[in-house]
Every structure is written in structure tokens, then in C-alpha cells.
Amino acid sequence: MVGATTYCEVAGNVDVPWLPERDAVPGPGSASKRYSRTRLLSASRKRGRMTLEALNTTFAGATFAVIGATAIAAIVQLRHLRASNQMTALLTILQDWQKPEMQAWVQFVRKELPERLKDPAYVDSIEAVGLEDRTEHAWLNLCDYYEQLGAYVKYGLIDRRSLLDVGCSNFLSVYRILRPLIERTRAIRGSTAVFENFEYLAVLAFDWTKLHSQGAYPAGASRFSDLEA
């Protein structure tokens, strides 16, 4: 068509700024679409953070459970180890009790010493010879032995109940015989610390016999005489 001006001709002669193909003239739904995408992206990020926090919480709880189980297992193992050590110590004490030298000391204290204590010169000889003469004063060996046992019990190295159950009468009877000599020795030394663990062991034995005057037989257990009745 002659004389008609086309768009191309106008574009060729006039500097018309070029518009982008998209977003130059937003459509009616463009803003709402961008808002929807923003909301979806934000929600996705929040879900990601929540999922990560949940995983961290789960891992922390699992770690705590593992640590707790390990601690409980260690406590149980220590209890078994302690019981085993105490049993070994008790068996060693019972073996020592059967040794000839131990029996000789016990026989001396029970049979010979009561007669010697009637002689004031024998008691006075403690001050003269001190605590070094174990030949004339063999009772000192027994005091040393029970002093060690008392220390073991005091610091929980031996089970108190097991030891008192098998030896309370012996501890108490020997201490009663040796008490005058122990008190005399304390007076000479000027200290009540002399053989204090032996005294502690004797006090425990006294309390045990008072509490179990009829023995420590398990309550409710049948006696042999009941089985044959």
C-alpha cells in the first residue's frame, strides 16, 4: 500500500527503546505468582530447618541414651569387680586363720595369757620392753593382725557382714582378753590410737552379736530339724 507507514519503517527511523520480551508489561497474574513462589520457597526453607532440628534432637537423644547405657554397664561391672575382690580378701583371711602360727598365737592368748595377766610383773614388763618384743609378748602379733582387719572393714575393703558373720565371736573374745594390755599400752604411749582399728572391729562384733543373739540364719528358711520332724 503506497503512502502507508509500516511499523518497521517507524522502527527504522525513530529510536524506539527495546522492551524485554517478559516482565516488561506484567500480566494481571504476575505479582500473585511471584508472591506464591516466595511463600512456597519460604515454607520449604522452614520445613528444611525443622527437619534438621528434629534430626539434631533425635541424634542428641540417641547419644544420651548410649552414654547412659554405658554408664550403667560400667557401674554394674564395678560392683561385680568389687564383690569379687571382697570375696578374694575374705578367702585370704580364712586361709590365714588356718596357718599354724596364727593358731599358736590364738592358743597363747586364750590359754596362757589369762594366767600371765595375774602376774603384775608381766603387765609391767610391757613398759620395760615396749612393743618390740614379740617373743615374750606374742599377743602383739594377734593385735597387729586384727588391727589390719579392722582397717580393711573401716575402709570398705572387706564386706562387713560376711566377716562378722564368720568371725564376730572370735574378735570379741580375743579383744576382751587383750583389753587390759591394750589399755596399758595406750597409757604408755599416751594415745588412744594404739590398736584403734582392733577396737573398732570388736565394737562391730559386739553390735553384731547383740543384733543376732540367736544367730544370723536367714529368716523364713527351713531348719534341718523341721525337715525331719
| pLDDT value at residue 189 | 87
Crossing angle between the packed helical segments 196-211 and 139-154, to the nearest 10 degrees: 70
Considering the domain architecture, whether residues 35 and 106 belong to the same structural domain is answered as: no
13 falls within a domain: no
Determine, yes or no, domain membership for 92.
Answer: no
9 part of a folded domain: no
Do 76 and 103 lie in one domain? The reply is: no
Q: Find where cell 596357718 sits.
A: 99
Q: Do residues 195 and 116 both lie within one domain?
A: yes
pLDDT in tens, the chain (229 residues): 444 444 444 444 444 444 444 444 455 555 555 545 565 555 555 555 557 667 677 777 778 777 877 778 777 776 666 667 767 777 788 788 889 998 999 999 999 999 988 888 888 887 776 666 677 788 999 999 999 999 999 998 888 998 999 899 999 999 999 999 999 889 888 999 999 999 999 999 999 999 998 888 888 898 888 887 6
Output the pLDDT for position 6: 44
pLDDT number for residue 72: 81
How far is the CA of 46 from the CAs of 38, 62, 127, 207, in angstroms?
12, 24, 90, 70
State whether 62 and 121 are in the same domain: no
How confident is the model at residue 155, as a pLDDT? 92
Residues 106 and 193 in one domain: yes
- Same-domain status, 173 and 199: yes
137 in the same domain as 78: no
Same domain, 60 and 129: no
224 found inside a domain: no
**In the structure, how many helices (H) and strands (E) does the chain have?**
9, 0
Provide the pLDDT for residue 39.
Answer: 56
Segments forming the whole domain that contains residue 77: 30-82
pTM over 0.85: no
* 156 falls within a domain: yes
**Residues 34 and 132 grouped into a single domain:** no
- Same domain? 77 vs 120: no
Residue 175, in any domain of the structure: yes
CA 35/CA 29 separation, integer angstroms:
10
DSSP 137: -
Overall domain count for the chain? 2
Residue 25 lies in a domain: no
How confident is the model at residue 188, as a pLDDT? 86
Do 67 and 105 belong to one domain? no
Whether the CB-CB separation of 131 and 195 falls below 8 Å is answered with no
Cα–Cα distance list, 130 to 175, 180, 184, 192 (Å):
20, 15, 11, 16
Q: Is residue 184 in some structural domain?
A: yes
pLDDT of residue 2: 43
